[in-house]
Structure 1
């Protein structure tokens, strides 16, 4: 219906009227709408809000009418939002990055490392790299981390070990996992904008070209592909011009110019920049979908949500009513805010504390036990992306050793690693 050319000619109220006649109700009384972003939305009976939420699988439903006026515009598809590539929620723990992709990036990093830091000063990512590292290397790193759906890596993943000689210190994480931060796009923009402000137009173009080259290589892995596509659409137009980039003088002006070039069909890849609340809602959707192997995916998702720091108590209001009920059960039992993974080993074993006692995170009510490596990596990636999304929305910090539930999931992947640990990066 949305693909019909006539859909674009309808007004939003007319589209809402058509959708309202196609709302489904499940035997438990829940009302579901397949709407914006080609995703399902669930009606909260308490306040009439629609939440992104994947429906229960294998449940019969019947079509019911619904007042069109009660459908908010944000749940009505535009058309272009149905073209987003889904990508993959898998983390980089377990399944490795393809060898061909890694080798191409290794060659690129080596070439970038031969540039002079005087010509390419490090104006971002200085917490990652040594002071004598040129920003060309940082541009490759920043593009990889921005494009990754969930930048949690095996400690010896070849893709990040190629940066070893340039690092300022060991990467955050533990013996097995590097729980890496997802940089905002402004960090990459700053590298280019600084050279432009310094009157070094050719250097600015070189950095933009490195970002584009990195994104082009990353297209080979579905865990990078959606944001890599978005990155290419933002940067490549600059490279096709004969004159230097004219994206404004300040970092903010250049950021707006980059974001403005991204076509609407790739909008979901940019929610992390444009709409942190919407981005967090989509990561929740991904997490529940990744837990579809469980009898009750929402209870599993609530167990992982319980790790988040929510001192202001705003999290429950962002959940659909089914997920909120599962989370509130954990909160009533005192099992929320358990993000103290700093006190547990990454493989799930307790460690001795300073006073000789054993420190463990509270045991979850529901054990998340993926049946195989692929589903385990998908849950781990979705959970980490959810944690990063919450941090982007609220400012909450993700512990350097990961959230407790995620660290427990690593135990299920460690014995199936397809590489060999060689020590921390």
Structure 2
């Protein structure tokens, strides 16, 4: 009998499930019937792990301890066999609706390594220049005050906020042209160092605040101008897959405002406008909005991306655990959110005292111990050596997205100069950066 290649069972099952969910008849099935079909396609690997390709077009791993099915990319080096189960073992949450299979795949790459395309940057530059000519009296800075000087009009902040909200992981080369566009408007240097700017991802509420405040001030035309700037920026960002999923979602949220003859009554507060935007977004874009609607699920998807980006490593979960070891988890909330294989790898590091090191609360400001007056990042638990720069950028993006998702979920602060595993990986690829311009640092 010919041996089955290690990845074939997973690939074949994924193709089968995708075809079934794409079939119009899928929508006519009840949830129990859908679960029955999926349960017949559960895979088992030689180590006894059970795998299901389900909701969000992603794999789920069964936890034998408590019966949960957790998001987890499957192993690429193990054979698997199909073992049917009863539909009762599947909770409704892992059964695909159908629209969740239509999510824009996007890219997990950070902006360290592959630059933002020059054409995209030039379009944003022109938009920022035009936005900067507006009066701060007509467009007061009601959000992003920690980024921009007080005399900067909110039209500029609207461009910045759209770029950062739409970015999968807003970590940029220190010389990335896209962020240097905003240099003259900043009130202080951006967080990071000369190699990388580790930038915070703003909540959608910050963008809504810019618009809602103008509505309450009786300036509907200014509110529409700000919404139009966001839409124009998102339209430009569609050209880069690292922005595309959220840029598409933002367009669907703000464009209806621009088509209305009358903008309607002012919203009572910023959160009300944000909620109205979220309700306009179609279900097929749901994954792009998890960062706003479900922080637990958003963290799970970011972690899935991280393990998947580390697939070149001999043990991707061991490598992912090394990145998780950098996170601050004083309340012990992290292990319970990990699949059992990843949890075992993380707990091994925890028992060795190697977790919570680079984001620990006992370190100096910015999260790093100070030696001889110089801020130095601690050594990472495990050195990661991607085979090429694109793989390195994917790991950096997924690791930073995971850290930011953890911050949103728990409030644990990310150090301004990056976590240990991330900064170590930057040092490996910094000499390969493809931006050769040296016009100063933002």
- Class of the TM-score when normalised by the shorter of the 2 chains: over 0.9
Indicate yes or no: 2:170 matched with 1:151: yes
Residue 188 (str. 1) matches residue 204 (str. 2): no
Distance 1:344 1:381 in 2: 24
**Would the alpha carbon gap of residues 156 and 394 (structure 1) be closer, same or farther in structure 2, given more than 3 Å must change?**
same
1:286 is matched with which residue?
305
Aligned 8 A contact 2:380 2:421 in 1: no
- Secondary structure of 1:128 counterpart: coil
In structure 1, C-alpha distance between the alignment counterparts of 2:248 and 2:89, rounded to whole Å: 35
Q: Does the 8 Å CA contact 2:290/2:297 hold for their aligned counterparts?
A: yes
SS in 2 for 1:95: coil
Answer yes or no: is 1:311 the counterpart of 2:330.
yes
**2:24 maps to what in 1?**
5
1:179–1:400 Cα contact (<8 Å) kept: yes
Give the corresponding residue for 1:399. Answer: 415
Seen in structure 2, the aligned counterparts of structure 1 residues 106 and 359 have a Cα distance that, compared at 3 Å, is closer
**Quick one: distance in 2 between partners of 1:65 and 1:215?**
45
Aligned to 1:401, the other structure's residue is in SS state: coil
1:189, 1:251 within 8 Å by CA — same for their partners in 2?
yes
2:394 to 374, 378, 388: 378
Residue 240 of structure 1 and its aligned partner are, at CA, apart by 1.1
Distance in 2 (CA, whole Å) between partners of 1:327 and 1:397 is 20
**How much does 1:363 deviate?**
4.6
1:218–1:228 contact (8 Å) kept in structure 2: yes
Q: What are the within-5 Å matches in structure 2 for residues 14-413 of structure 1?
A: 14-246=33-265, 248-340=267-359, 352-354=371-373, 361-364=378-381, 366-413=382-429
Q: Out of 420, 423, 430, which is 1:414 matched to?
A: 430
- CA-atom RMSD in angstroms: 2.0
What SS does the corresponding residue of 1:199 show, helix, strand or coil? Answer: coil
Shift of 1:373: 0.6
Deviation string, structure 1 residues 380-407 (Cα, Å, up to 9, x no partner): 0000000000000001111000111111
TM-score normalised by L of structure 1: 0.95
Question: Structure 1: which 5+ residue stretches go unaligned?
Answer: none
Q: Deviations over 1:315-362 (max 9, x none)?
A: 0000000000010111111100022598899xx9x97434x9x96524
Does the CA contact (< 8 Å) of 1:189 and 1:254 recur in 2?
Answer: yes
* Conserved 8 A contact 1:91-1:380: yes
* Conservation of the 8 A alpha-carbon contact between 2:211 and 2:223: yes
Map Cα deviations across residues 137-186 of structure 1 (whole Å, 9 max, x no partner). 00000000000000001111110101011001111111211100000000
Dislocated runs of 4+, deviation >6 Å: 341-345
Gaps of 5+ in 2: 1-19
